[in-house]
Amino acid sequence: MMGPTLRTWLLAVVHVVAAQSLTNSTFSSAVPSSAWSPPNTSTTTTASSSSSFLTSLPVTTTSATPLPATTTSTTLTSVATETGPLTWPISEYPFTPFPTPTLAPIPPVYPETDPLNPPPIGTDYNVVPDFAPAWAAAYGKAQSMIANFTIEQKVNITTGVGWMNGLCVGNIPTVANFPGLCLQDSPLGVRFTDFVTAFPAGITAASTWNRALIRARGLALGQEFYAKGVNVGLGPMMNMGRVAQGGRNWEGFGADPFLTGEAAYETILGLQQSGIQATAKHYINNEQEWKRTQESSNVDDRTEHEIYAHPFLRSVMAGVSAVMCSYNLVNDTYACNNYKILSDILKREYGFQGYVMSDWGATMNTLSAVAGLDMTMAGDITLGSGTTYFGANLTAYVMNNTVSEARLDDMATRIIAAWYYMHQDQGYPNVTVDSFHPYNPLNQEVNAQSNHDQLVRQVAAAGTVLLKNEGNALPLTKPKSIVLVGSDAAPPVSGPNEYADQGGDPTGILAMGWGSGTTNFTYLISPYEAIQARAREDQTTVSWDFDNWNLDQAGNDAIPAEVAIVFINSDSGEAYITVDGNVGDRKNLTAWHEGDQLVLAVAAQNNNTIVVVNSVGPLIIEPWVDHPNVTAIVWASLGGNEAGNAIVDILYGAWNPSGRLPYTIAKNASDYPAQLVLGGTATDILSIDYTEGLYIDYRWFDAQNITPRYEFGYGLSYTTFEYSQLVITPIDASVDSAQEDLIQNWENGGASPIAEGSSTALWLHMPLFQVTFNVENTGPVYGGEIPQLYVHHPPSAGEPPSILKGFTNIELVPGQTGQASITISRYDLSVWDVVRQGWAKPNGTIGFSIGASSRDFRLNGTFPV
C-alpha cells in the first residue's frame, strides 16, 4: 500500500482529471449513471483523442468505416511500441451493480429457459432463450449464502488457490457451505487426465457449418467434464482468425464473426446442458501468440462491436456462466484491467450475469476488481509465485474502502450464482482429475468416454472440406492398389501422446494443435490403420512410405499404384511451447516436413494423386494445386481420436463431403489483410493496429477484388444442388409497448438505446424476416448442402460488400427438392453507430444473396425495410 501522503495527492489528481475529461467524451453517455466510470489518466499519444475514458475504444466519428488502402501489412521485425500500459490510480471507488434487464417470457420466440434444458436444436437460429429467471433465482440463493460471510471469506471466493495447489488447473477453495470450484481445460477435451475423448478441434466443428453437430459436440464434451467432477470447463475459444498464422486459431471457429458466434452459441448450449459451467474466452483481441502479454491490440469501436465482440455477445445470449479475459492489452489497457470491455460492454451493454475470470496469470492489478474482474486465476501473480493481487491485498483494499465492499459482494455473488444457476449444488460428482500427478489412480477412477467416438467420427467427417475433385477421382471404388505417402498418414512414432501438451514436431497424423487447448489421446486412429481396414474389405493392395524427405523414393513408390494419396500437415499452438522455431504462431503458411515438394514428387509419377491435408489453418498450396495429376484435395483439419476413420469415410463416400471452409485460402500470404507483428525487446509493448477494420478475411478479398484460391464458405460434394423459388416473409411477433417503441425507433433510423442489456435485447434479436427457398439434389447420390445468406449493405453504410448473416443445412436424396429456411433479425441488418453508441439500420437498400459460398451466389433479394 502507498503511504497516506502520496495517496492523498493521487486522489486530488484523479478528481481534477475526471472533472476535465468527462466534458467531451463520445463514451461518457455509454456508462449508466448507476455505475461509476473511470477517468482517463493516459499520456500516451496512440489512443484516440475523441474518447476520454481510460479504457474506451478509439472511435471513428463518421458513420462509415473507411476502406483500407490496397497495400496489406507485412510481418514486421522493427515495430511500433506503446508508451506503457494505462493503470489505475489509488483512490476510493464506489460501486452500484448494474440493474438486471427484465422482460416477461414470450414463447415460442422468447421462452423461459433453464441452462439444463436449452431450446431444441434447429438448422437455423430463430429462438431467443430467456435465461433471466434462472439467473434471478441463482442470484437470490447466492446473496443469501454470502449474507453472513466475512470480507476474508468473500475474497476467498474470488481468489484461486495458486498454480499446482489443487487437483485442477484452477481451484477455488471451500468456503463455509460453498464447496469450491474445479476449473479445467480444454475446449476439445478434459485436459491432464485419463479415459476422456479427444474431440475434433473447434476449427473442425466450425467447418461442419452444422448447428446440430456443433451442439452435440458441446453436449458430449460437457458430459465428460461433468463425469470427471469439473465445475467449469475452460471453453469454448472464440478469438477471430484475423491472422492466418495465429497459433491458436485452430481452437476457435474461424475468421468470420457470425459463423464464430453461432458455433460458440451452440457449443455453450450443449456444454451447459450437461451441467457444467462454460467459459467464453479469450476476451478480447488475443489474435496472435507472439508477445501476447506485451502487446496492445488497438481496435476502433465499430470494428470491436461488429467483429471481435460479437461471438461474446452470442455467448451471453446462450446463457454462458463465465468469461475469461485475455493476456493482451486493448487500446493500451490490459484486458483484465479494462473497464470499458469488462463492465461497460460485457456487463452493461450485453447484460452478462455471470463472472469474469482472468486467464492464468493475466491479472495485472488489485484494482482490476474495480474494472470488472471477478476472479483471479490461477490465483498467483505469476504461476507458482505464491503471491497474489487478490487474497490479502484485495482484503486490505476493501477494508480501507479503495475497493467497495459492495463490489466485493458483487464478485462473490456472481461466482456463487453461476454455481447455483447450473444446479451444481445438487449432487455434483466428486473431482476425479489430478492435473499435476498423472499416475495418481484418481485419474483412472472414472471412464468418461461413453460412445462419443461415434460423434467424433461424424463431426470430423462433416468438418472435412472437399476442395478439388477432377474427373470424379473421389469417392474411391475398390481401387486395385493404393500407396500412402507422408508421415501424416502414419501413427505417431512414440504413440499419440509423445509430447506433453502435444508440443512437438508431429511424427504422424496431426489431430490437434499444441498447448493448453489439448487433451491426452486415449487412442488415435491414423489414415494408415483406417485405410488398411478398408483395403481388407475391398481386397486392395496397400503400400506406404512415411519418409517425407526421400523424394525420389516417394515418387518411385507412386509409379505402380492406381491411386497415390499424399498426406501433409501444418501445426501451431500456444506460445509457451516453441516447435521448430514456431513460437506458437506459424512462421509461414507452407506445409510442414517439405510437404509441397512431397506432393510434387508423387504427382510427377502418378496421374491420380490425391492430397489430404491436416492443418490448423490455411496453407498456400499454389506450388501444386493446379498440377494436372493432382486430381483431388481433401481438407481434413484436425479430427481428434477418429481422424483416420473420418478421412476414410470421405475418401470412400461413406460420408458425402458437406464441410465448408471457415476461412479463406489465399494464393499468396501477402493477400491476407493482417500479418503477424513480430520483433520487440523483452520490455517492449508492441502496437498491433487493427487497421483493416471490418475487412477481415473474405471481406478484404471481396473489397479489394483479390481472387482467392478457395473462398470462405467453399466446399464441394459428390452430388450437385440447384436453388430456386426465393420467398421473403415478414415475421410478426408480439412484444410489449416498450419493445414496440424501440422497434419503431429503429425503423425510423434511430439507434438502440444506451441501457442495460441494450445489445442483447429481444426486439433487436427476435426474427424479423423468414427467407425460404428450394434446394434440389440434381446429382447421383444422397448429400447435404450448406446454403449461406450474405447481406449487402448500401454503400453509405461503409460495410464490406458481403457479410455472412445466416446459414442452414439440408440433406436430400437424388432428385429430391426440399425447402430451406433462414431467419434474419434487426440486429443482423444493423451496424454499430459509434456516435449514438447503438445498433442502427443503415439508410438505403439492404440486399442479400443466398448461395453455396461467399462467391457462389444462386439467389438474390432485397429486405423490405
Alpha carbon dihedral 281, 284, 290, 296, in 10-degree steps, equals -160
Q: Of 354, 316, 359, 355, give the one whose Cα is nearest residue 129.
A: 316
Helix (H, G, I), strand (E, B) or coil at 750: coil
Query: Cis omega (within 30 of 0) on the bond before 441?
Result: no
- Is 130 a known active-site residue? no
What is the rounded CA–CA span in Å between residue 55 and residue 574?
27
Residue 182, CA distances (Å) to 149, 431, 433 in order: 21, 7, 9
Long-range Cβ contacts of 436-442 (<8 Å, 24+ apart): 436/164, 436/192, 438/192, 442/167
State the amino acid at position 89 in one-letter form.
P
Which H helix or E strand runs over 409? Answer: helix 405-421
| Cβ 556 vs Cβ 478: under 8 Å | no
Bridging pattern class, strands 170-172 and 181-184: antiparallel
Q: What values do phi and psi take at 456, rounded to 5? A: -55, -45
What is the rounded CA–CA span in Å between residue 367 and residue 360?
17
Give the neighbor-by-neighbor strand order of the sheet with 721-730. 721-730, 767-777, 817-825
Query: Cis omega (within 30 of 0) on the bond before 119?
Result: no
E strands, 699-798, are 721-730, 767-777, 783-785, 788-792
Q: For the purposes of burial, counting CB atoms within 10 Å of the CB of 747, is it exposed (0-12), middle (13-18) or buried (19 or more)?
A: exposed
Cell of 148: 453472513
| Cβ 44 vs Cβ 86: under 8 Å | yes
Bridging pattern class, strands 295-298 and 333-334: unpaired
| Cβ 783 vs Cβ 812: under 8 Å | yes
| Cβ 786 vs Cβ 823: under 8 Å | no
Helix (H, G, I), strand (E, B) or coil at 460: helix
What is the rounded CA–CA span in Å between residue 251 and residue 245?
13
What is the rounded CA–CA span in Å between residue 386 and residue 390?
12
Q: What is the DSSP-derived secondary structure letter of residue 730?
A: E
| Cβ 632 vs Cβ 611: under 8 Å | yes
Residue 283, CA distances (Å) to 184, 322, 330 in order: 18, 11, 10
What is the rounded CA–CA span in Å between residue 33 and residue 99?
11
CA 625 to centroid of chain Cα atoms? 29
| Cβ 479 vs Cβ 582: under 8 Å | no
What is the rounded CA–CA span in Å between residue 293 and residue 688?
12
Q: What is the DSSP-derived secondary structure letter of residue 329?
A: E
- Find the catalytic residue in 130, 301, 359, 585: 359
State the amino acid at position 157 in one-letter form.
I
Sequence length of the chain is 865
Sequence-ordered alpha helix ranges (H) in 147-247: 151-158, 202-208, 211-227
Sequence-ordered alpha helix ranges (H) in 189-295: 202-208, 211-227, 257-273
Beta bridge partners of 323: 280, 356
Q: Of 116, 35, 156, give the one whose Cα is nearest residue 416.
A: 156
Q: What is the DSSP-derived secondary structure letter of residue 304?
A: I
Q: What is the DSSP-derived secondary structure letter of residue 119?
A: P
- Residues marked active site are found at 359
